[in-house]
Amino acid sequence: MTLVFFIIALGILVIVHEWGHFIIARKSGIRVEKFSIGFGPTLFKIQGRETEFRVALLPLGGYVKLYGEDPEAEAEGDEQKAKAIAASPDSFTGKPARFRLATVLGGPVMNLVLAFVVMPFVFLIGRQVPAILEKPPVILGVMENSPAKAVNLEKGDIIQSINEESFQKWGDVLNWIMLHPNQEIKMVVTRDGVEKEIHTTITDAPDSRQKMGYLGIEPQYFWGNDPIVGDIVANGPAFSSGLKSGDFITAVNDEKISTWTQMTDKIRASNGKPISLGYLRQGVEGGVTITPAYNEDAKAYLIGITRFTNPDLYVVQKFSPGKAITHGLQETYRLSLLTLDVVKRLFSFDLSYKTLGGPLQIAQASGQAAKSGLGEFLYFLCFMSLQLGILNLLPIPVLDGGHVLFMAIEGIIRRPLSLKVKMVAMQTGMALLLGLMILITFNDVDRIWGIGDLITKAKGLF
């Protein structure tokens, strides 16, 4: 089902984007020859009055083919024919700059409009979020051997600012930390009513394949982190051990533990050797011995239990129509600023490409969002639409922003750029984007399956 939701989400985004180009072109009197969803071989097509609508095999994008978008290429070297195409009243090139600019911007603008229009419905339908994300950033605990521990941050410290940026909610603090790995920071906290200035360096998260920041004060390590058994996986190592849902784990190999994180760390460190678990069940102590099994997906030793999720730790963000519109617009604006910040930091090399997600991670995220409900899926769709709209405005040839750049240069020099110059620029832009996509996809594969593990398996076949 993950693939199905991925195709649905991507299909919606592509259709909206290309429809933006299409409708503005039509309104401007420009002939649209093709409207394609997907690339490659045609699966089916419908011929309209002047436009061929088609669905292609590879659902990774789409395009509209405008008549006269590139007269020289369309004329195949025939100079007279190229001039005739450029002078045609329904030619893209023959239209005034304002119509051409509007047509090019129509796609990304429609993606931005989609996000601003749909996001209020997210808060009208409702989406479930951890309650801690809406609470003030009071430190709930400090992980051992973490950057926060090294500079003596303490439980109860209230985070006021990081690098002069103020915060009111844990959700904003978490986003900031995750997007700034390997960065030196100045943090101002309040402890017992007195402000303290802390200097440290955000490191890479030790428990994630994805490159993201880590301080060791993130609330997910402490909020709702009680070692209470939720579900027991059928036929897993714990299935026939006698462990039951609701058991409170108190010890691993006779060592006391108080959090789910401590328990899982010790299980993963077992390397498959039998471990003893002490537990409390309705106030009565008990114990079991289990042999962890290696899980290929998690790349770790597990015993086949899930953490109990206390519904009281979550809140549903659901509002009346008026408030839903306000919250929707505010959230879309916040996500827009977040996306712009990521783009800026990528181009200034302050952020690694490894923080980005490619098609595999997007597919995973779309599936997870859909399983969480309609509100979460629409939220994911809005965020992706925002990113698609903003990234398409970058002045890189082959993107819409690249076409705007060409038009700006032509306006300055007061003549069209030659086909050769455009082709070289387009090929360079395509090479850059393909190279980035390959790196991101490689990173996806490494994050999900582990490149090292795949290489080891491949060697085992020979």
Could you identify the residue written with the tokens 């620029």? 425
Query: What secondary structure, in 3-state letters, does 328-373 show?
Result: HHHHHHHHHHHHHHHHHHHHCCCCCHHHCCCHHHHHHHHHHHHHCC
203 - beta bridge partners?
214
Tell me the DSSP string of 261-293: HHHHHHHHTTTT--EEEEEEETTEEEEEEE--E
Which of 18, 72, 74, 376 is catalytic? The answer is 18
User: What are φ and ψ of residue 295, in 5° steps?
Assistant: -105, 120
- 431, two tokens: 């090479």
Contacts of residues 402-411 at CB distance under 8 Å and 24 or more positions apart, as own/partner, are 402/426, 402/429, 403/104, 404/101, 404/104, 404/105, 407/97, 407/100, 407/101, 407/104, 411/97
Write down the H helix ranges in 66-205: 71-74, 79-87, 97-125, 147-150, 170-178
Query: Is 331 one of the annotated active-site residues of the chain?
Result: no
- 387, two tokens: 């990113």
Write down the H helix ranges in 135-259: 147-150, 170-178
Q: Is 192 left (phi over 0), alpha (psi -120 to 50) or beta?
A: left
Core vs surface per residue 331-363: b (16+ CB within 10 A) or e: bbeebbebbebbbebeeeeebeebbbbbebbbb
- Catalytic residue annotation: 18
